[in-house]
Amino acid sequence: MSVSDPIADMLTRIRNGIETRAQTVIIPASGLKKEVLKTMVAEGYLADIGEEEDGKQGLLIAYLKYDDNDNCVIDGLKRESKQGRRVYVKSEDIPKVRSGFGTVILTTSRGVMTDTQARKLGVGGEVICSIW
């Protein structure tokens, strides 16, 4: 099956995993997806990620993170830049999510990073998604 927006598909798989209270979510692998998931692990939204070979492009396994009350630490995910409407921002125009309580993930000339890292480095880029 062909997927027109692989990042949106990944976010939807994570959203569906949260709704069903799954421990893991399996995602077809790509370099950009892997970097976005690594950033989510570093920010504390996911417990860990793993890789598995399937004879094709490979699979990424996202381990969802839950708190002591069995609630997922991710309240929401939103795809910002889409194929029909790309969102590029300068470093001073990077949006804040939930008054700074969320995270924006960007792809920049220096790689995939969070809004905080991009502001610190003074780089802008394409806004991939928002997490809160």
Reported as a single tens digit per residue, the pLDDT across 84-126 is 999 999 999 999 999 989 999 999 999 999 999 999 999 999 9
pLDDT at 50 over 90: yes
Model pTM score = 0.92
CB atoms within 10 A of CB 64: 19
pLDDT of residue 1: 56
User: Is 54 a residue whose pLDDT tops 90?
Assistant: no
Select 6-64's CATH number: 3.40.50.2000, 3.30.1370.30, 3.40.630.10, 3.90.650.10: 3.30.1370.30
Domain boundaries of the chain, sorted by first residue: 6-64, 77-131
User: Which of 108, 119, 112, 125 is closest to 38 using CA atoms?
Assistant: 112
> What value does the mean pLDDT of the chain take?
95
Please identify, in words, the CATH class of the domain defined by 77-131.
alpha beta
- The reply to whether 6-64 and 77-131 are identical in fold is no
Give 17's contacts (C-beta < 8 A, 6+ positions apart).
24, 25, 62, 64
